[in-house]
Amino acid sequence: MSQETMVVKKEENPMRRIIIDKVVVNMAVGESGEKLMKAATILEQLTGQKPSFRKAKRTIREFGIRRGENIACVVTLRGERAYEFLNKAFEAVEYRIRGSSIDRFGNFSFGIEEHIRIPGMKYDPRLGVFGMDVCVSLARPGYRVARRRRKKSKIGKNHRVTKEEAIRFLEEKFNVKVI
């Protein structure tokens, strides 16, 4: 078998395709109360899912944060919703992300400074403007064996998504330019 046929067979294998495992959207407000509820409302409008709240790990007096107080809201998107949200989010950052925001396992993160940059979102003076962090986890089919409860197993290094493969995936699937 020649080298070219090996590459073609490797690309055709359905277990080698890259998929979006999950997209986590985080709005860290830094305080509980009305401001956090407004952020949760915006996050629910953006994603179509009810956000989960995150608590402060420790007390920081300078910022007025108490341990156990809700200070952020998070939504995890999977499947079709993840692809739809990412299309909007990439448009908000003008289809560009930094190469340094992609780790060696193909996961990447980027921030959106103002939620009103996302297409379809309008400024509401009652809610205000919030920024958010978007964290994307890429995987291949079969990666679940590393996380399942019964019969856990290790994933071989050839089956992990590399940084170069993640960049190629972003360029082909979303037309994102990695700077």
Residue 79 counted as domain residue: yes
The span from the CA of 13 to the CA of 32, in Å, is: 48
Residue 8 counted as domain residue: no
Residue 4 counted as domain residue: no
How many distinct structural domains can be found in the chain?
1
In this prediction, residue 32 carries a pLDDT of 79
Residue 87 counted as domain residue: yes
In this prediction, residue 3 carries a pLDDT of 63
Contacts of 151 (CB under 8 A, 6+ apart): 145
* pLDDT by 10s per residue, the chain, length 179: 566 666 666 668 888 899 999 999 999 887 778 888 999 999 998 888 999 998 888 888 887 778 888 889 999 999 999 999 999 999 999 999 998 999 998 899 999 998 888 888 888 888 888 889 999 999 999 888 898 999 999 988 888 999 999 999 999 989 989 88
In this prediction, residue 63 carries a pLDDT of 77
CATH number at residue 125: 3.30.1440.10
Residue 134 counted as domain residue: yes
In this prediction, residue 80 carries a pLDDT of 92
User: Is residue 19 within 8 Å of 138, Cβ to Cβ?
Assistant: yes
The span from the CA of 22 to the CA of 102, in Å, is: 15
Residue 162 counted as domain residue: yes
Residue 52 counted as domain residue: yes
In this prediction, residue 164 carries a pLDDT of 92
In this prediction, residue 4 carries a pLDDT of 63
pTM comes to: 0.84
Domain that holds residue 88: 17-178
Q: How far is CA 111 from the centre of its chain?
A: 10
The span from the CA of 69 to the CA of 58, in Å, is: 9
**Residue 105: other Cβ atoms inside 10 A:** 14
Residue 108 counted as domain residue: yes
